[in-house]
Amino acid sequence: MSAIRPFQHTPSSPVVFGAGCSAGIVDKTLLKRASKILVVTDRGVVAAGLLDPIVKALGDRLHPAIDDAVVPDGDCAHVDVVAARAKAAGVDAVLALGGGSVMDSAKGICMAMAKGVPVSTLEGVATLRTKLAPLVCVPTTTGTGSEATQFAVLMDRQAGKKRIYVDQNLVPALALLDPALVVGLPASVTCATAVDALTHALEALASKMRNPLATAQALEAVRLLIPSGALARSLAKPDDVDARGDCMVAAHLAGRAVSSAMLGACHALAHVLGARCAVPHGVANGLFLVPVLRHNASKSIGAYQRLAQTVNAVDVDGAIAVVDEFVHGVAGIPRRLRDVAPGLAQEELPLLAKAAFVDPDLPTNPAVLDEAGLLTILRQRW
Ligand SMILES: [Fe+2]
């Protein structure tokens, strides 16, 4: 056994879990103190009927101009428009009801409101140096974990790139995990988001910034998703609130794990593919997860042996095979890039490798990957 190395663990948001808990949102002290609450959501959430109970619960403290126009891969320009409007109206708290794009857009709105500059200019690590308006996150998918993290990812469509933000001030003030909100989630979204959650857990487990607290969270997320069968049970019986709750807690735990242990090469590759082709984030992670695990295996033996124990595999190769079956069997993520990104040409792969090489998630990958190594993985998956 190796000694525990020095580490720092980043705290995550306070959390409340339980079927129906979002109905009590108005009783939360944090929101009792706010007089003008901006709700950020998207049209899918509205169409699913999830917004109305929240609106009723907030009563006259709701800022009337609800932002229900968040798009997949939250948009920097949209964030700037909503933030300017909210600041002028005196908004003093933000409530995000939705998946990762909604929660990250809400984080962007809080940033732009506090700093008074375009959100694209705030990209980077620890750039904020100021407290933001309190953000309450109510996730309606079970993958991103953004409700727990100090991260946000937004798409700058003018620049054609994803902007990545890492700042302690982005940790939400409160997360409400209500599995009743996700029983209607379509199977494709359930699968892609579960694969994103698993990727968070596995990248945190082996990251250069891994630490015992994040490892405990990551392994429990893996246990819920794989041996406990949270995804398989959610797919077999979509209204199984217990199975949905397990997926939701797994995603949250994995979010907590990456918030302190950070990510790795899989996310670096997924970011550039998502920016180039709008492939759903979880699908992009699923494409690259197994080859990245194989590449990292020699540098992550201890971490992957813990994974093997958790998924009841005899060794590291067996653990990677279990992950392969989860991603491509249970979740049904394709194995070939050209099947998920039909607009992409093979000649573009070197450009993707170049962009992934400078992605801020790459430096914490446990094994070195240069542009050539990233290109090899992209070509393996072509
Ligand atoms: Fe992710």
Cα 324 to ligand 1 centre (Å): 18
Query: What's the gap in Å between 96 CA and the centre of ligand 1?
Result: 18
Q: Find the CATH number of the domain harbouring 344.
A: 1.20.1090.10
**Rounded distance, CA 161 to CA 382, Å?**
22
| Together in a domain, 146 and 246 | no
Cα-to-centroid distance, 298 and ligand 1 (Å): 24
Domain check: are 48 and 150 in the same one?
A: yes
**Å from CA of 200 to ligand 1 middle:** 6
Question: Within this chain, do residues 300 and 317 fall inside the same structural domain, yes or no?
Answer: yes
Centroid of ligand 1 to alpha carbon of 267 (angstroms): 6
Q: Tell how far the Cα of 194 is from the centroid of ligand 1, in angstroms.
A: 10
Which residues are within 5 Å of ligand 1 (an ion), measured at CB? 196
What is the torsion angle, in degrees rounded to the nearest 10, for the CA atoms of residue 208, residue 379, residue 254 and residue 83?
100
How far does residue 56's CA lie from ligand 1's centre (Å)? 32
What is the per-residue pLDDT for 9?
84
| 235 occurs within a structural domain | yes
pLDDT, position 33: 80
Q: Are residues 168 and 81 in the same domain?
A: yes
Are 208 and 274 in the same domain?
yes
What distance in angstroms lies between residue 282's CA and the mean position of ligand 1's atoms?
A: 7
Same domain, 42 and 140: yes
Distance CA 222, CA 197 (A): 9
8 located within any domain = no
CA 58 / ligand 1 centre spacing (Å): 30
pLDDT reported for residue 25: 81
Q: What's the gap in Å between 183 CA and the centre of ligand 1?
A: 21
Same domain, 147 and 196: no
Q: What is the pLDDT of residue 278?
A: 83
- Whether residue 170 lies inside any domain: the answer is yes
Q: Calculate how far, in angstroms, residue 105's C-alpha sits from the geometric centre of ligand 1.
A: 15
* Domain presence at residue 10: no
Residues 147 and 208 in one domain: no
CA of 100 to the centre of ligand 1 (A): 9
What is the number of structural domains in the chain?
Answer: 2
Per-residue confidence (pLDDT) for residue 1, from 0 to 100: 56
Q: Is residue 349 part of a domain?
A: yes
How far does the centroid of ligand 1 lie from the alpha carbon of residue 34, in Å? 31
Cα gap 274→269, rounded to integer Å: 9
Output the CA 239–ligand 1 centroid distance in Å.
Answer: 25
Distance of CA 197 from the midpoint of ligand 1 (Å): 7
Kindly list the averaged pLDDT for each block of 10 residues, start to end, along the chain of length 382: 80 90 77 87 95 88 88 95 96 95 98 97 94 95 95 93 93 95 95 98 97 97 98 98 98 96 97 91 97 97 97 98 98 96 94 96 97 98 97
166-199 burial by CB neighbour count: b if 16+ within 10 A, else e? bbebbbbbbbbbbbbbbeebeeebbbbbbbbbbb
Residue 319 lies in a domain: yes
Q: What is the pLDDT of residue 2?
A: 67
Task: List Cα–Cα distances, 154 to 48, 105, 122, 162, 216, in angstroms.
Answer: 24, 7, 11, 6, 29
Q: Are residues 371 and 238 in the same domain?
A: yes
Spell 120-155 as b/e; 16+ CB within 10 A means b: bebbeeeebeeebbbbbbbbbbbbbbbbbbbbbbbb
Whole-number Å distance, alpha carbon 35 to ligand 1 midpoint, is 33
Distance 196 CA to ligand 1 centre (A): 5
CATH of the domain at 44: 3.40.50.1970
Looking at residue 269, what DSSP letter applies? H
User: Residue 291: which of 258, 246, 337 has the closest Cα?
Assistant: 337
Query: What does the block give as tokens for 350?
Result: 């070197």
189 and 173 share one domain: no
The verdict on 230 and 243 lying in the same domain is yes
Q: How far is the CA of 281 from the centre of ligand 1 (A)?
A: 7
> Residue 255: which domain range?
185-381
Residues 191, 173 share a domain:
no
- The answer to whether position 9 is within a domain reads no
Residue 278 placed within a domain: yes
Q: Which of 126, 154, 181 is the last residue of a domain?
A: 181
If you measure from the C-alpha of residue 72 to the centroid of ligand 1, how many angstroms do you get, rounded to a whole number? 14
The residue among 181, 198, 215 that closes a domain is 181
**Of 181, 216, 242, the domain-final residue:** 181
